[in-house]
Amino acid sequence: MSVLVGKDTRLVVTGLTGREGTFHALNNRNYGTDVVAGVTPGKRGQDVEGIPVFDTVHAAVAETGANTAMIFVPPRFAADSILEALDAGIELVVAITEGIPAHDELRVYTQLKRTPGARLVGPNCPGILSPGKANVGIIPASFFKEGNVGVVSRSGTLTYQIGNELAQRGFGNSSIVGIGGDPVPGSSFIDIIELFEQDPQTELIVMSGEIGGSAEEEAAEYIAANVTKPVVGYIAGFTAPPGKTMGHAGAIVSGTAGTAKAKAEALEAKGVRVGRTPTETAEIAMEILSA
């Protein structure tokens, strides 16, 4: 199996006719994802290499049965695009867009709480890959093969690096989920770890965090109370200076709160082994899987 995306994914891409939307939607389709529609207001009736374009997500869902949406529209339109997808009955929304204003993210977060059964991954994320089944987003799928390691990460590039380190050691992935590094994510570590815990294909979970916020500490508590599968952690930012934003909007340390050291200690206190580099993290995962 896999989590979130798979052979039953029917993808609609908002912003399909833009440069990035076209490029990544076609990459996803070439991988094997069933890309059934695109949405760009005012361009109904057009198509992008055979993918039909609609004015609204509602129309795309009615015509094609889309159940997953990928958001590739500019930041100022992204929140409304996400909300439209939720209103159209889309079960899973993957928001790739970076730079969405925080107050817009809060609007989306509030609506998610009022929409049972709907899930948002992102914003500002690389998407989701279930190797051999479906790719929704910008993850370079050629790096990965199908296997039994589930990966969840705040950082896109660290997702690729850790996954590639595992692949070089002969291990594959059940699914790879990038949750994004914004202060108001649609899905948390806990949300995705819960799915991996329930997924029979996943035998080990790798969680890649970073400085800022308390998501990793909260995940440590959840893992101790609810997760039976081994979890390996990595925290980016051991050398990050206090008060600096490091790449992501949510990656900022205030005083001693949110440091890589504090997060690693919280995870290790709950039995999660934490690597200090991506390579060490992959080596720990390999050691556990080999055993």
6, 33 contact by CB (below 8 A): no
- For the chain, the C-alpha Rg in angstroms (whole number) is 18
CB atoms within 10 A of CB 170: 11
- The secondary structure element, H or E, covering residue 192 is helix 189-198
Catalytic residue among 24, 58, 103, 248: 248
Other CB atoms within a 10 A radius of the CB of residue 62 amount to 13
Residue 185: left if φ>0, alpha if ψ -120 to 50, beta else—which one? beta
CA distance 154 to 83: 23
Distances from the Cα of 152 to the Cαs of 21, 89, 106, 193, 210, in angstroms? 23, 25, 22, 8, 12
Q: By the 8 A CB rule, do 145 and 168 touch?
A: no
- Residues 104, 25, 152, 165: is their CA dihedral positive or negative? negative
Main-chain dihedrals φ then ψ at residue 214, nearest 5 degrees:
-130, 15
- Could you confirm whether 58 is annotated as catalytic? no
Residue 85: both structure tokens together: 């997808």
State how far the alpha carbon of 13 is from the alpha carbons of 3, 9, 28, 39, 66, in Å: 20, 12, 11, 6, 10
List the catalytic residues: 248
